[in-house]
């Protein structure tokens, strides 16, 4: 499988000025085009200093030239890197010179796409490259590196091998359907399906945690005015992100703050106090607050710890979406005199002093399914989680079909659909539309 006949070029370093800038070429004419820019090329995998020229032949920089002969390169094609000074004008002049010599500007993610198409990485590993670049925490970066090394892909391949073995057995039973032997009632077959179901469910739980570690958790602070939502946002953010006053209704709009706490990425959303109001500006803020609540992955419902839950609090709780996990946060325990800490269904805190915040973070971790260490064996995305869920669903349908004696044909089709869903994770099965969507999210030069 080939990534394309043309040669692509891109600036592989981040935008802006820097000490070093890298121009990357990949394709059948990469070496010839690089000779136009740098003269004679060094032997593969040996860096040499060369003068770098623009399309008019004038020397514009000096830098290192490094060549990789395909298929032993990142993309599986001939690759050349020109490593010069990191000025954006210099790099753009070099890139235009490469285009004049026959290269084409690369699309976002095209280098990684070619690596996938040429069998250098599978799809999960290719996505791990983007996850490594975009990691918000050190723990997420380590998880992405493990996926790039194949930790997640090997787990998927082991499941695929087991699933294919079951498919072979069931479809083989179709070939002997005219014999008196009831192949599909074999206890070993049902045991293999049950064991595979357990293994998929285990990996699904791990993938859900890994996805949380990658994407974080959207946490919405909700409650009546003046219960301390903005103070809690500031406490979690570690800075004065929101205005805090004693005046009820100070917060008029939705305020988002992206933070990481002990390796757990969070988007904290502060909202206007939920109450009836005649003020048109406050009413708009309340409308936006309810819209934010609908998008939450975790709701922190704040109440004043000096009061028992008021009728207004109860009415608000009844309006909150049942499907969204929630924690009740009893704030201002410094004024109530109660001890901070966790209780069933919530946490008692003092957002102003920070008392009880560690218990709150532990409770949020539990909801997110992220271990205290914040570590994951691999990185995963929402599409991986969905593929594993669909695989488990199809496998269970097949198991039920076999248990009911409804025929091997239906079970074989369910198993085929399970394999199709599972294969999409590593890209051993995938539509062009899916691949295009994935690689378009990469940066230029990867």
- Evaluate whether 124 touches 425 at the Cβ level (below 8 Å): yes
Q: What is the CA radius of gyration of the chain?
A: 28
226 annotated to a ligand binding site: yes
173 annotated to a ligand binding site: no
Cα–Cα–Cα angle for 115, 121, 123, rounded to 5 degrees: 100
81 annotated to a ligand binding site: yes
- Evaluate whether 265 touches 258 at the Cβ level (below 8 Å): yes
79 annotated to a ligand binding site: no
245 annotated to a ligand binding site: yes
272 annotated to a ligand binding site: yes
426 annotated to a ligand binding site: no
246 annotated to a ligand binding site: yes
Q: Tokens for 289? A: 């607050």
Distance CA 270, CA 205 (A): 29
250 annotated to a ligand binding site: yes
Q: How many CB atoms lie within 10 A of CB 273?
A: 24
374 annotated to a ligand binding site: no
Q: How many CB atoms lie within 10 A of CB 365?
A: 20
93 annotated to a ligand binding site: no
- Which of 359, 295, 306 lies closest to 332, judged by CA? 306
197 annotated to a ligand binding site: no
230 annotated to a ligand binding site: yes
24 annotated to a ligand binding site: yes
7 annotated to a ligand binding site: no
Q: Which of the 8 DSSP states describes residue 355? A: B
247 annotated to a ligand binding site: yes
Q: Return the exposure string of 124-151: e unless at least 16 CB atoms fall within 10 Å of the residue's CB, then b.
A: bbbbbbbbbeebbbebbbbbbbbbbebb
32 annotated to a ligand binding site: no
List, in sequence order, the alpha helices (H) in 178-250: 187-215, 229-237
Helices 408-426 and 382-403 cross at an angle (nearest 10°) of: 170
Q: Tokens for 371? A: 């271990």
Q: Can you say which residues are annotated as belonging to the binding site for Mg(2+)?
A: 230, 251
Q: Show binding-site residues for GTP.
A: 226-231, 245-251, 270-273
Residues within the annotated binding site for K(+)?
226, 245, 247, 250
Binding residues, as ranges, are: 24, 81, 120, 226-231, 245-251, 270-273, 446
Q: What residue numbers does the annotated binding site for (6S)-5-formyl-5,6,7,8-tetrahydrofolate cover?
A: 24, 81, 120, 446
């Amino acid at each position: 499988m080939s990534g394309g006949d043309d040669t692509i070029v891109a600036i592989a370093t981040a935008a802006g000025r820097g000490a070093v800038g890298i121009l990357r070429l990949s394709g059948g004419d990469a070496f010839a085009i690089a000779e136009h820019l740098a003269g004679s090329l060094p032997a593969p995998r040996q860096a040499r200093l060369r003068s770098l020229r623009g399309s008019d032949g004038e020397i514009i920089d000096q830098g290192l030239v490094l060549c990789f002969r395909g298929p032993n390169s990142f993309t599986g094609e001939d690759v050349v890197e020109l490593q010069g000074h990191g000025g954006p004008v210099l790099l753009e002049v070099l890139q235009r010179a490469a285009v004049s010599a026959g290269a084409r500007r690369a699309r976002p993610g095209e280098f990684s796409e070619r690596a996938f198409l040429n069998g250098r990485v599978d799809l999960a590993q290719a996505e791990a490259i983007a996850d490594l670049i975009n990691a918000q925490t050190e723990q997420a970066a380590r998880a992405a590196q493990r996926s790039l090394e194949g930790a997640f892909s090997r787990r998927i391949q082991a499941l695929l091998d087991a699933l294919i073995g079951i498919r072979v057995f069931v479809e083989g039973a179709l070939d002997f359907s005219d014999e008196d032997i009831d192949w599909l009632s074999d206890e070993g077959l049902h045991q293999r399906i049950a064991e595979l179901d357990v293994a998929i469910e285990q990996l699904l739980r791990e993938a859900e945690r890994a996805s949380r570690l990658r994407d974080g958790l959207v946490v919405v602070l909700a409650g009546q005015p003046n219960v301390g939502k903005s103070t809690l946002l500031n406490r979690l953010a570690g800075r004065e992100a929101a205005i805090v006053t004693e005046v009820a209704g100070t917060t008029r709009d939705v305020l988002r703050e992206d933070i990481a706490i002990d390796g757990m990425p969070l988007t904290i959303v502060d909202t206007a106090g939920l109450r009836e109001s005649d003020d048109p500006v406050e009413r708009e803020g309340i409308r936006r607050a309810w819209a934010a609540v609908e998008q939450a992955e975790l709701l922190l419902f704040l109440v004043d710890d000096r009061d028992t839950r008021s009728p207004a609090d109860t009415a608000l709780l009844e309006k909150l979406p049942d499907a969204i996990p929630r924690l009740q946060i009893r704030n201002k325990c410094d004024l109530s005199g109660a001890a901070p800490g966790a209780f069933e269904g919530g946490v008692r805190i003092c957002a102003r002093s920070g008392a009880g915040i560690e218990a709150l973070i532990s409770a949020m971790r539990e909801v997110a399914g992220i271990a205290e260490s914040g570590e994951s064996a691999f990185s995963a995305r929402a599409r991986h989680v969905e593929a594993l869920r669909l695989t488990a669903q199809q496998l269970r349908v097949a198991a039920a079909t076999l248990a009911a004696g409804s025929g091997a044909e239906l079970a074989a089709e369910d198993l085929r659909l399970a394999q199709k869903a599972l294969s999409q994770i590593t890209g051993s099965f995938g539509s062009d539309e899916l691949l295009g969507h994935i690689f378009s999210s990469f940066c230029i030069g990867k």
